[in-house]
A and B are shown apart, each in its own frame.
Chain A
Amino acid sequence: MTRLVAANITMTRGRKRVLDGVSADFAPGTFSVVIGPNGAGKSTLMAILAGLLTPDAGAVTMGGVALARIAPKALAQQRAFLPQNARAEWPISVERLVALGLTPHLPFFGDIAPDEKMKVEAALVACDLIGLREQAATTLSGGELARAMLARALVGDPALLLVDEPTAGLDPRHALDAMVRLKARAVAGHSVIAAVHDLGLALSFADRVIALRGGKVLADVASGDVDAALLRALYDVDARIDRDDAGVAVRYL
């Protein structure tokens, strides 16, 4: 199985210690959300968990094997990573952009096979992109591009999905859609890790919350256990958390 384990991750950038002894264990079937104030080290942690950055100390293992020892292509077949503010560098069509998510599954030279076309089609439908499929990715609005990028990350059906800020720039409906989709992947038995700023959305959908501050794990709890005291310690704000059947609302006082 693709259990992801981070043990004692430490990362220094310049003189600043961005991550300081972070340990976490991500089991398949869980939707984990990383929260924390700006500069807490969320993005660095996501990049390290994805295997794109090598920590100064500590290690990340997937299924018991260190990420650094897995070939990039083999790793890419199992995990997808969507960084913050992903941009398209050329005006390729949305359909092509989404199909790029299948890169690790393709032979070195050669195009997409028919059954893989179906996967692209499904991802386009799932992310509400059918009407935009022929449009150049550089002409999309911020929210449309975010949806296209999410479809790109989902199209390869990764066992492990890491997303940095999947709802940034999305309107309420598409933000909800995105969270529903991430949650559904976890329910289907995959592992999903997302860094999210919108606490209401995060607490409504996540199974588990990792609160990061100053490069350290402040709390690692089930999302139902996040309380006002934790938010106060994390963000220095007073907040009230209302939980009901419709979800979780966080009000700042």
Chain B
Amino acid sequence: MKGRWLTIVLVVLLAAAALASLLAGRVWLSPGEVLASLTASDDSLARLIVTELRLPRLLLAIGVGASLGLSGAVLQGLLRNPLAEAGLLGISTGAALGAVVAIYYGLAASFALATPLLGLAGGFAAAALAFGLSRSGGTLALILAGAAVSSVAAAGLALALNLAPNPYAAFEITTWLLGSLSDRTWDHVWLAAPFMLVGCGLLFLTAPALDALALGEAQAESLGVRLARTRLLALTGTAFAVGAATAVTGAVGFIGLVAPHLVRPFVGYRPGRVLLPSALLGAVLLLVADIASRLISYDTEIKLGVLTSIFGAPFFLWLVLSMRKRAP
């Protein structure tokens, strides 16, 4: 019952944040202007801002936030590790490396979607590697394999920065790594959306298995859960959803880590029930962060990934401290 209320509250929050995201920015629009621009057929400035800039950005923010929140919840349930998220398994780092390779070799200049496409490929490669390395082992093997893959990808990122042909390329790579939703177009939406949808679908399929895993792997298996299949679903789903998310926005941290923790008490800590609210909250958090990144006006734009880290890290610290008080 509490869980249903939570979902309703989160949907309302999401709608409010989505509306605010259409209104807020360098040019403020009134709700009436937004509505008029959506229905009108003229090429007014308001219409251009809404349909060409803010709407794709809004949809991407929802997709990316939901992907991060959902995959964090699935991985935490699967590995029964409160620190788990896509980054722990190297999937977001792998996607970042793929995208950076595209920037590094200048592919992005000649073909705009080269960055997200190579990012997706990087995410898949990382997931496949982590899965392959840990196939015969258990949960710990998967975490260790993910950490190894993540380190290799991070080393690749460092190498790319080191070898950057000119300061401008290095700057471009760094900027991209900070994560941002600005200047994203419908092309990005059409590229990422199918992957995110498929990924989230796969991730949701793990819910019953995650519930049973609350009893540990032996009992879950005895209850008919196919562990290897669940693991494959979780990794493939994360590769699709977070790979696509990272491929279009760059690295955005802490959403996948924090969102599941925030909703867990409201669903009685049931791992399967965490998924939907965690996806919704992830979308809300990312939208709010994106709005904030537009409104905080310094000479340089504060990047989305920087904002989520600045607010996410202290929050996570608080979470750790409060969990320590509750747990023995």
Q: Is B135 an interface residue (CB 8 A)?
A: no
B residues 112-131 near A (Cβ < 8 Å) are: none
Measured CB to CB, the closest approach of chain B to A161, in angstroms, equals: 11
Q: A100 touching B211 by the CB < 8 A rule?
A: yes
Residue of B nearest to A134 (CB): B268
- A–B Cβ pairs within 8 angstroms, 23 of them: A52-B221, A52-B222, A72-B226, A74-B224, A76-B224, A80-B222, A81-B218, A82-B219, A83-B218, A83-B222, A86-B216, A88-B214, A89-B213, A90-B271, A92-B268, A92-B270, A97-B214, A97-B215, A100-B214, A100-B223, A108-B208, A109-B208, A149-B215
* A83-B219 contact in complex given A89-B80, A108-B208, C-beta closer than 8 Å: yes
Q: Interface readout for A9-51 with B: 1 if CB under 8 Å, 0 if not?
A: 0000000000000000000000000000000000000010010
Residue of B nearest to A99 (CB): B211
Q: Is B315 an interface residue (CB 8 A)?
A: no
- Please, which residues of chain B bring their CB within 8 A of the CB of A79? 222
Complex Cα spacing A80 to B213, Å? 15
Q: Interface readout for A131-172 with B: 1 if CB under 8 Å, 0 if not?
A: 000001010000000000100100000000000000000000
- Please, which residues of chain B bring their CB within 8 A of the CB of A108? 208
- Please, which residues of chain B bring their CB within 8 A of the CB of A181? none
Chain B positions within 8 Å of A, measured between CB atoms, are 80, 207-208, 211-216, 218-219, 221-226, 268-271, 327
Complex Cα spacing A149 to B223, Å? 13
Chain A positions within 8 Å of B, measured between CB atoms, are 47, 50, 52, 71-77, 79-83, 86-93, 96-97, 100-101, 103-104, 106, 108-109, 136, 138, 149, 152
Residue of A nearest to B212 (CB): A103
- Please, which residues of chain B bring their CB within 8 A of the CB of A101? 223
Complex Cα spacing A97 to B269, Å? 11
- Please, which residues of chain B bring their CB within 8 A of the CB of A50? 222
Q: B215 touching A100 by the CB < 8 A rule?
A: yes
Complex Cα spacing A108 to B269, Å? 20
In order of increasing CB-CB distance, the 9 nearest A-B pairs are A76-B224, A73-B224, A81-B222, A89-B80, A72-B224, A104-B224, A103-B223, A83-B218, A90-B269
Complex Cα spacing A75 to B207, Å? 21
Q: B224 touching A87 by the CB < 8 A rule?
A: no
* B214 in complex: contacting residue of A47, A80, A92, CB < 8 Å: A92
Q: A47 touching B268 by the CB < 8 A rule?
A: no
* A72-B215 contact in complex given A91-B269, A92-B270, C-beta closer than 8 Å: no
* A106-B271 contact in complex given A47-B218, A88-B214, A89-B216, C-beta closer than 8 Å: no
Q: A81 touching B224 by the CB < 8 A rule?
A: no
Q: B222 touching A136 by the CB < 8 A rule?
A: no
| Given contact pairs A50-B222, A86-B219, A152-B215, a sample of 8 additional A-B residue pairs in the complex whose CB atoms are under 8 Å apart | A47-B218, A82-B219, A86-B218, A89-B213, A90-B269, A101-B223, A104-B224, A152-B219
Complex Cα spacing A97 to B268, Å? 11
Complex Cα spacing A103 to B214, Å? 12
Complex Cα spacing A73 to B224, Å? 4
Q: A93 touching B212 by the CB < 8 A rule?
A: no
Complex Cα spacing A50 to B221, Å? 10
Residue of A nearest to B222 (CB): A81
Q: B215 touching A86 by the CB < 8 A rule?
A: yes
Q: B216 touching A87 by the CB < 8 A rule?
A: yes
* A72-B225 contact in complex given A89-B80, A90-B80, A100-B211, C-beta closer than 8 Å: yes
- Please, which residues of chain B bring their CB within 8 A of the CB of A90? 80, 214, 269-271
Measured CB to CB, the closest approach of chain A to B275, in angstroms, equals: 11
Complex Cα spacing A77 to B269, Å? 25
Residue of A nearest to B272 (CB): A109
Q: B212 touching A100 by the CB < 8 A rule?
A: yes
- Please, which residues of chain A bring their CB within 8 A of the CB of B219? 81-83, 86, 152
Measured CB to CB, the closest approach of chain A to B137, in angstroms, equals: 15
Residue of A nearest to B229 (CB): A72
Complex Cα spacing A89 to B211, Å? 10
* B222 in complex: contacting residue of A76, A87, A109, CB < 8 Å: A76
Measured CB to CB, the closest approach of chain A to B187, in angstroms, equals: 35
Q: Considering residues B221, B226, B270, which has the most beta carbons from chain A within 10 angstroms of its beta carbon?
A: B221
